[in-house]
Amino acid sequence: MKKLDIGGYNLYLDFDKLSEIVRLEPETFLDEEGNLVQNEGEGGPHIDITKYEMIREMVGVVLSSNDIIDDKMGEIALNTLPIPFKISYNTLIEYDILKDSDE
């Protein structure tokens, strides 16, 4: 099955990278006896809620864009999109969440 072009790119969201970015590592500290202990916390994995919410919003902006893009124009077509889209698009690429499958 052929992937669809978006501005000349075959873009996709990398869920593993997203999970890696928002996941908080367990805290490490020394107990009274000087042993290294990891505080796993309660209730399963912990996430950085600020990063999660910002990335979630940016993905929403990119996915809900109703603007028409002429894929034959490539990157030039993406330059006509609104500023929130551009910031979201650039940030998701910078953090390797939005990737080009051809790279």
Question: pTM above 0.85?
Answer: no
Span 42-86, pLDDT tens digits: 656 788 999 999 999 999 999 998 777 666 666 677 777 888 988
| Eight-class DSSP state of 47 | B
33-60 burial, b at 16+ Cβ within 10 Å, e below that, comes to: eeeeeeeeeeeeeeeeeeeeeebeebbe
Residue ranges per structural domain of the chain: 11-100
